Amino acid sequence: MVMIICMTVEVCTAMFDDTRFYGYDACYESSRSVVNYMQEMYPDSAGEVHCLTDEELAVYREFIDQGGKPQLKNPEPAELPKTEA
């Protein structure tokens, strides 16, 4: 599971959960509590949780490790604050 959290439009981070889930449904069920917690703790943020296969997770982790920037697939920029330049 990978969680992408954005505190502003320009500032997003990827957090990896290395828990091994047995199927998409198990990951999805686990992600629901993560989503609820993050919405409660960081109400002004936006984020996504993705349940990925081991191979997809490895590819995404490599992308991040090589300097890639996490982005939301379905951003809602009007709801995120802008950073001051």
- CA 61/CA 14 separation, integer angstroms: 9
Residue 64 has pLDDT above 60, yes or no: yes
- Greater model confidence, 63 or 43: 63
What's CA 81's distance to the chain center, in Å?
A: 18
Q: Quote the Cα angle for 52-23-73, to 5°.
A: 30
pLDDT of residue 74: 67
- CA 16/CA 1 separation, integer angstroms: 6
- Choose the most confident range, by mean pLDDT, from 17-21, 39-43, 66-70, 78-82: 66-70
Percent of the chain with pLDDT over 70: 85
How distant, in Å, are the alpha carbons of 12, 14, 50, 51, 74 from that of 4?
7, 5, 8, 12, 11
